[in-house]
């Protein structure tokens, strides 16, 4: 999927702002986000939740994912199959992780593919209406679209730091809106 110049500028600006957060401050913000997430992301036994492992200066979801697993959730992570497709493979703390490219790791091919009921979605930028800018590949939009075609309707929770919010994200027909955003200042559902 091609990205507009405006989206590219917003993406680059918000990623630079995220990268500029000092490491100690990032750890504090991450702890606060995890605490808010524990109060807001409700799971039941065997509910399937997708997360992601951090790349670069992303939020580290491992503490939140571990807590959700203790509450009975089944976890999964994105696995890149090719230049256009991701699936979500089951993730356990002892699971073998392999390089997925882009500096990230995911479960090996022998792990089961799951359809998440809650998706913790990485992003570069978001606005107060629930629109997001990803990293430009369209992987999540395509994966969510395919899940919906199969009858699934995962709850989409964007994961970011407050500094990644922008006034307005340009929306294209293929873009899928978030249901909520989780940052270090709290959990905000979108109307």
- 156 labeled part of a ligand binding site: no
115 among annotated binding-site residues: no
188 belongs to an annotated ligand binding site: no
Q: Give the separation between CA 137 and CA 84, rounded to whole angstroms.
A: 7
Q: What is the pTM of this model?
A: 0.95
58 marked ligand binding residue: yes
Question: What pLDDT does 84 receive?
Answer: 85
Within 10 Å of residue 121's Cβ, how many Cβ atoms? 27
On whether the CB atoms of residues 39 and 98 are closer than 8 A, the answer is no
Strands (E), 41-162: 48-50, 74-80, 86-91, 97-101, 104-107, 118-122, 125-126, 132-133, 155-159
72 is known to lie in a ligand binding site: no
Q: What are phi and psi of 10, to 5 degrees?
A: -60, -45
Residue 140, marked binder: yes
The response to whether 139 counts as a known ligand-binding position is yes
Is 134 annotated in some ligand binding site?
A: yes
- Known binding residue 138? Answer is yes
Residue 91 in marked binding region: no
pLDDT of residue 7: 94
- According to the model, what pLDDT value does residue 2 have? 54
**Looking only at Cα atoms, what is the longest distance across the chain?**
43
Find out whether 114 is annotated in a ligand binding site.
Answer: no
Given a contact cutoff of 8 angstroms between Cβ atoms, the answer to whether 21 and 171 are in contact is no
Mean pLDDT in order along the chain per 10 residues (191 residues)? 82 98 97 97 96 95 96 96 91 89 88 97 97 92 94 97 97 93 98 81
Domains of the chain: 5-189 (3.40.50.10420)
How far is Cα of residue 31 from the mean position of the Cα atoms in its chain?
17
């Amino acid at each position: 999927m091609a990205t507009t110049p405006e989206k590219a500028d917003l993406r680059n600006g918000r990623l630079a702002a995220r990268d500029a957060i000092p490491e100690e401050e990032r750890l504090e913000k991450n702890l606060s986000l995890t605490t808010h997430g524990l109060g807001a992301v409700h799971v039941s036994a065997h509910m399937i939740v997708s997360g992601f492992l951090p790349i670069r200066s992303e939020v580290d979801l491992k503490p939140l994912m571990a807590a959700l697993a203790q509450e009975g959730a089944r976890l999964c992570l994105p696995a890149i199959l090719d230049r256009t497709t991701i699936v979500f493979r089951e993730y356990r703390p002892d699971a073998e992780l392999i390089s997925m490219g882009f500096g990230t790791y995911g479960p090996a091919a022998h792990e089961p593919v799951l359809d998440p009921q809650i998706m913790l979605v990485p992003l570069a930028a978001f606005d107060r209406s629930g629109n997001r800018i990803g990293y430009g590949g369209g992987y999540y939009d395509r994966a969510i679209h395919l899940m919906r075609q199969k009858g699934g309707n995962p709850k989409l929770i964007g994961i970011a730091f407050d500094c990644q919010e922008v006034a307005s994200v340009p929306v294209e027909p293929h873009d899928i809106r978030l249901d909520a955003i989780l940052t270090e200042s709290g959990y905000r559902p979108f109307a």
